[in-house]
Amino acid sequence: MKQLDEAFDRLLGHPRTEEQLRIYGWSSIPAGTDNYASYTEFLPEELRSTDGFGVCWAASRFSAAALFTSPAVADDHIAAMRRGESRNLNVDTDVEGGLDVWPTWGPWERAIPDKPSWTKDNEGIIAERDGVVVYETHYTSPFVEDASPRPIVTWHCQICHASGKGEEYVYQTAGERHTIGYEAGRHLVKGHKFTASAVTIPEAVAEFVTRKTGRYMDPAVLMQCKVCPNVEALRALQ
Ligand SMILES: [Zn+2]
Ligand SMILES: [Zn+2]
């Protein structure tokens, strides 16, 4: 028997508070589940149980973990969540190991309970430092006819106006936050690159943002970059 805490420590660092760690749900996959073998064939040997297993889907701000336990433990947590009970993380359970990603392939896609969001309704800022903002928002591809807005996670630098290619990271699992967080961090480490962007944003947007956020936004800055006002609007949601 191991503490769930130990597994969190190993896979997610030392997140403890609700602000640092979120449990998105539990899955129970008993032996005899349809296509049972296809759940386990991707797993490392030590996680390949023939007796069924449960999974706790957990994530911190820039990491994700699938923690494995028995179906009985998972069923217990699923029932507790349905009753609206929240449980202390420091619960004694028989977690056997974990993956430091959320598997999304094959039958796993259906096993993940919900698409995760770090912000309310996938709209808002996840983290920022020295002008680099990592955020969630919705993106409509200009290249797809009748495309509906899809949740993405991406980053933007408000100093040099460099951006992550957020449209390529349609938000399916907490693992995408890890990728984007890594890219944003690399931008900070490598230093800002200054390039002139197209002038597309009217001064009216700057006035709107200033009014909405209560913080003065220099129109000259907005004129350089079409993403910055989006970031300011997301900031106003916090
Ligand atoms: Zn910008
Ligand atoms: Zn920059």
Distance 135 CA to ligand 1 centre (A): 13
158 shares a domain with 100: no
Q: How far apart are CA 65 and CA 158, in angstroms?
A: 31
- In which domain, by residue range, is 47 found? 2-111
Please state the three-class secondary structure of 83-146 as a single string.
Answer: CCCCCCCCCEEECCEEECCCCCCCCHHHHCCCCCCCCHHHCEEEEEECCEEEEEEEECCCCCCC
97 shares a domain with 25: yes
Q: What is the pLDDT of residue 104?
A: 77
Last residue within a domain, chosen from 81, 111, 141: 111
Q: What is the pLDDT of residue 145?
A: 77
Distance 159 CA to ligand 2 centre (A): 5
107 shares a domain with 17: yes
Q: Does residue 122 register a pLDDT over 80? A: yes
Distance 224 CA to ligand 1 centre (A): 7
84 shares a domain with 176: no
φ, ψ of residue 195 to 5 degrees: the values are -130, 145
- The lowest-confidence range among 64-78, 205-219, 222-236 is 205-219
92 shares a domain with 138: no
Q: What is the pLDDT of residues 175-193, one digit of tens each?
A: 788 888 888 998 888 877 6
Residues 6 or more apart whose CB falls under 8 angstroms from that of 110 comprise none
Please state the rounded mean pLDDT for residues 106-134. 83
Q: Does residue 1 register a pLDDT over 60? A: no
Q: Does residue 143 register a pLDDT over 50? A: yes
93 shares a domain with 10: yes
Last residue within a domain, chosen from 111, 129, 148: 111
93 shares a domain with 130: no
30 shares a domain with 133: no
Residues around the ion ligand 1 (C-beta < 5 A): 161, 225, 227-228
Distance 77 CA to ligand 2 centre (A): 43
Please state the rounded mean pLDDT for residues 91-116. 72
Q: How far apart are CA 200 and CA 205, in angstroms?
A: 10
Task: Give the total number of structural domains in the chain.
Answer: 2
Please state the rounded mean pLDDT for residues 117-121. 83
Looking at per-residue pLDDT, the higher value among 219 and 109 belongs to 109
Distance 184 CA to ligand 2 centre (A): 9
pLDDT confidence tier of residue 47, bands split at 50, 70 and 90: confident
Distance 200 CA to ligand 1 centre (A): 12
Looking at per-residue pLDDT, the higher value among 155 and 22 belongs to 155
Q: What is the pLDDT of residue 157?
A: 87
Looking at per-residue pLDDT, the higher value among 49 and 156 belongs to 156
Q: Does residue 74 register a pLDDT over 70? A: yes
129 shares a domain with 85: no
Last residue within a domain, chosen from 91, 111, 131: 111
> Rounded to a whole number, what is the distance in angstroms from the first to the last CA of the chain?
41
